[in-house]
C-alpha cells in the first residue's frame, strides 16, 4: 500500500490553512443570533448551492457510494438523482419558509399547525442527528484515516482515534466560533476540493481501465441498470420508484440540516437560485462517487487492483492508483466531505436547541445570551459525538448497514405532514401531531424489529412464540417497501384526523399554504423568478432524465 509523502502532506496542509483563513475572515462579526444562526441572512446563491451539496456529501457518503458501486453497480444512483427534490425545495417550500421569517423548520410547523408539532420535530431531529448522522460521520472519518494513514501514531492513539478526534475538534471549533457564515463559506471552498479530488479518481481510474467502453463491458448490463426486478431483496424497483422520493422530499425539503442554508439567503430569489445550483451539483455523485466504485470492481476483475471488500473501493483507488500530490488532493476532498457534513450537523443541532428549545423556555433571553448558548450547544454536540465513538466501534457494522433504513423509517410522517400541509388548507394541527407521533413509533418499532430479526437464529424461528415470529416478519419487510406502506398510513391518518377535528384558523393558513396565499404573497413569489430560473430548472430536469435513460437497460 502506498502511503502519503511530503507533497501530499503539503497539499493537505494548504487545505487546512485555507479553511482557517476562511473561518477567520467570516467569524469577525457574530453579535446577534441572526448573524450566528443564519449568517445575517446575507448569503449568495453560489455559497448556498455549494453548501447544500457539501452538507449532503460526508466521508461515509463517499466511501459508502463507492462501495455500493463496487458491490451492485448503479442501483444506489436513484438517491443521487434527487436533484429534482432540491428544485421542489426552491420552488415549492422555500417561498413559505422565507416569507414566514423562520430560523428553523420546526418553527414553520408551529406557525402552520401548533407548538406541539414544533417540540416533537425538534426533539426527534436532535436525537436522530447525534446518534445517527454525527456518529456515523465521525466513525467513517476515523476509518478513512485508519485506511489511508495507518502508520499515524500519537500518545498511544492509533490513526483511527487521531483522525476522528482531531477532525471533530477542529470542525467543532470553527463551527462554534464562526456560526453558519463560517460553515457556508468553508462548504463552498470544500465543494471545489471535493469535486476536484473525486474527478481525479474517476479520470485516472478510467485511464488505467482503458476507458468508458471497457467499464461498461466489464460491469455488464445488470450492474449498469438502475432498475432491479420487483423480487430483488435489496432494491426492488417499486421501492426505489416510490420510497426513494419519499425520503428525498423530506431530506431536501424539510430537514433542518439542509434547509437552514436557504434560510440564510439575502432574498427569496437568491434562495431559489441556490437550490437550482445545488441541484446541478447533486447530479455529479453518480459519476464522481458511484462510477469509481464500478471502476474498482472492473480493475479487480482485471487483476489491477486489490481490495478485501467493496467498502474499500475508494481507499484502494486512492492508495494504489493516484500519484503524489494528487493523493493529497483526494485526501483533502475526504476531509472536506467529513468537515462540511460535521459543521453543518453541529450548526443545525445548535440552532435547533437554542431557537426551538432554549428560546421557548426563556423567550426574554438577550441576543448575546442566545449566541453564547448556541456555542455551548455546539460544544455539547461535539462532546457527545466523541463519547459515542467507542460505541460506534462495537456496533458500526450494524449501524452503518441500517443507516439508510433509519431515514426510510423517519421520513414518511414528516413528508406527509409538510407536503399535505402546504398543498391542502384543511390539514390541521391535531392531524399533524397524531401523524408525527404514530408514524415515528411505527418507524422505530420497525427498526427495532429489523435489528432483532437480524440477530435471531434463522433455523429456530418456527420454534419461537407467535409474537416473536410476528416481530421477525415485521422486521424482515424490505425497508423501501415499508417506507411506502408507512407513508400511505401517515397520509391516511393525517387526512382522516384533520377532517374529524376543527379546521385550522386563518392565522395558521395565511401565506403558509397555497390556498391561503394572499394576493400580495402571490405577487411576491412571482416577482422572485424570471425566465433564467425556468431555463435552468428545465436543464436540471433534462440532465436527470438523460441519466435515467442512459442507465436503463
Scored b (16 or more CB within 10 A) or e, 156-181 reads: eeebbbbbbbbbbebbbebbbebbbb
How high does pLDDT run on average in the chain?
Answer: 81
Residues 6+ positions from 226 with CB-CB distance below 8 Å: 74, 75, 77, 78, 240, 548, 551, 552
Interval 132-146: pLDDT, tens: 677 677 776 776 677
CB 276 within 8 A of CB 29: no
Q: Give the per-residue pLDDT at 488.
A: 96
In eight-state DSSP terms, residue 363 is T
**pTM, 2 dp:** 0.83
| pLDDT at position 237 over 80 | yes
Three-state SS sequence of 400-442: HHHHHHHHHHHHHHHHHHHHHHHHCCCCCHHHHHHHHHHHHHH
Phi, psi of 43, rounded to the nearest 5 degrees: -95, 140
**What percent of the chain is predicted at pLDDT more than 90?**
21
- Cβ-contact 172, 182 below 8 angstroms: no
User: Does pLDDT of 402 surpass 60?
Assistant: no
What distance in Å separates the CA atoms of residue 147 and residue 530, rounded to the nearest whole number? 49
Q: Which CATH superfamily is domain 6-396+531-550 in?
A: Sodium/glucose cotransporter (1.20.1730.10)
Q: What is the pLDDT of residue 37?
A: 55
pLDDT of residue 435: 96
Write down the pLDDT at residue 148: 67
Provide the pLDDT for residue 279: 94
What span, in angstroms and rounded, lies between the C-alpha atoms of 494 and 414? Answer: 11
Q: Encode 313-346: b = buried (16+ Cβ within 10 Å), e = exposed.
A: bbbbbbbbbbeeebbbbbbbbbbbbbbbbbbbbb
Q: Which residue has the higher pLDDT, 410 or 190?
A: 410
Pick from 256-260, 319-323, 387-391: least confident: 387-391
Q: What is the CA radius of gyration of the chain?
A: 23
Look at residue 233 and tell me whether its pLDDT is greater than 60. Answer: yes
Q: How far apart are CA 1 and CA 305, in angstroms?
A: 11
pLDDT band for 6, please (50, 70, 90 cuts).
confident
Residue 152: pLDDT over 80: no
Q: What is the mean pLDDT of residues 152-174?
A: 72
Amino acid at each position: 500500500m502506498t502511503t502519503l509523502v511530503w507533497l501530499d502532506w503539503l497539499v493537505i496542509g494548504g487545505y487546512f490553512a485555507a479553511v482557517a483563513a476562511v473561518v477567520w475572515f467570516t467569524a469577525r462579526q457574530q453579535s446577534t443570533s441572526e448573524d450566528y444562526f443564519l449568517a445575517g441572512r446575507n448569503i449568495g446563491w453560489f455559497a448556498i448551492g455549494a453548501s447544500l451539496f457539501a452538507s449532503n456529501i460526508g466521508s461515509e457518503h463517499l466511501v459508502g457510494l463507492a462501495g455500493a458501486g463496487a458491490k451492485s453497480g448503479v442501483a444506489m444512483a436513484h438517491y443521487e438523482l434527487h436533484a429534482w427534490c432540491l428544485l421542489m425545495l426552491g420552488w415549492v417550500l422555500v417561498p413559505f419558509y422565507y416569507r414566514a421569517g423562520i430560523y428553523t423548520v420546526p418553527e414553520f410547523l408551529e406557525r402552520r399547525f401548533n407548538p406541539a408539532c414544533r417540540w416533537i420535530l425538534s426533539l426527534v431531529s436532535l436525537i436522530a442527528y447525534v446518534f445517527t448522522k454525527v456518529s456515523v460521520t465521525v466513525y467513517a472519518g476515523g476509518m478513512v484515516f485508519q485506511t489511508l494513514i495507518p502508520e499515524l501514531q500519537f500518545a498511544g492513539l492509533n490513526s483511527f482515534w487521531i483522525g476522528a478526534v482531531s477532525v471533530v475538534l477542529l470542525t467543532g471549533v470553527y463551527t462554534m466560533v464562526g456560526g453558519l457564515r463560517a460553515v457556508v463559506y468553508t462548504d463552498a471552498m470544500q465543494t471545489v476540493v471535493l469535486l476536484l479530488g473525486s474527478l481525479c479518481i474517476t479520470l485516472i481510474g478510467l485511464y488505467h481501465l482503458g476507458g468508458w467502453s471497457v467499464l461498461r463491458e466489464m460491469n455488464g448490463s445488470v450492474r449498469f441498470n438502475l432498475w432491479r426486478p420487483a423480487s430483488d431483496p435489496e432494491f426492488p424497483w417499486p421501492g426505489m420508484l416510490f420510497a426513494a422520493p419519499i425520503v428525498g422530499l423530506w431530506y431536501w425539503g424539510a430537514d433542518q440540516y439542509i434547509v437552514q442554508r436557504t434560510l440564510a439567503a439575502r432574498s427569496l430569489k437568491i434562495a431559489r437560485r441556490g437550490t437550482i445550483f445545488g441541484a446541478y451539483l447533486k447530479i455529479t455523485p453518480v459519476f464522481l462517487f458511484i462510477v469509481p466504485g464500478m471502476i474498482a470492481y472492473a480493475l479487480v476483475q482485471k487483476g489491477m487492483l486489490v481490495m478485501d471488500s467493496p467498502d474499500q473501493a475508494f481507499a484502494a483507488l486512492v492508495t494504489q492508483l493516484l500519484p503524489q500530490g494528487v493523493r493529497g488532493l483526494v485526501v483533502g476532498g475526504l476531509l472536506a466531505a467529513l468537515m462540511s457534513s460535521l459543521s453543518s450537523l453541529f450548526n443545525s443541532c445548535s440552532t435547533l436547541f437554542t431557537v426551538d428549545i432554549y428560546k421557548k423556555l426563556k423567550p426574554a433571553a438577550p441576543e448575546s445570551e442566545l449566541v453564547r448558548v448556541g456555542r455551548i450547544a455546539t460544544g455539547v454536540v461535539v462532546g457527545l459525538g466523541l463519547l459515542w465513538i467507542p460505541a460506534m466501534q462495537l456496533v458500526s457494522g450494524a449501524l452503518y448497514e441500517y443507516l439508510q433504513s433509519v431515514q426510510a423509517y423517519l421520513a414518511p410522517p414528516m413528508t406527509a405532514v409538510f407536503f399535505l400541509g402546504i398543498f391542502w388548507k384543511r390539514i390541521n394541527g391535531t392531524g399533524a401531531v397524531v401523524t408525527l407521533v404514530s408514524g415515528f413509533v411505527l418507524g422505530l418499532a420497525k427498526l427495532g424489529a429489523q435489528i432483532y430479526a437480524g440477530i435471531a437464529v434463522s433455523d429456530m424461528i418456527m420454534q419461537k412464540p407467535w409474537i416473536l415470529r410476528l416481530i421477525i416478519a415485521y422486521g424482515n419487510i424490505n425497508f423501501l417497501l415499508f417506507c411506502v406502506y408507512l407513508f400511505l398510513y401517515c397520509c391516511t391518518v393525517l387526512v382522516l384526523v384533520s377532517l374529524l377535528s376543527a379546521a385550522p384558523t386563518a392565522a395558521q393558513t395565511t401565506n403558509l399554504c397555497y390556498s391561503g396565499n394572499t394576493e400580495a404573497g402571490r405577487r411576491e413569489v412571482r416577482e422572485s423568478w424570471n425566465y433564467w430560473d425556468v431555463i435552468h430548472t428545465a436543464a436540471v430536469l433534462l440532465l436527470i432524465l438523460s441519466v435515467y435513460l442512459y442507465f436503463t437497460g
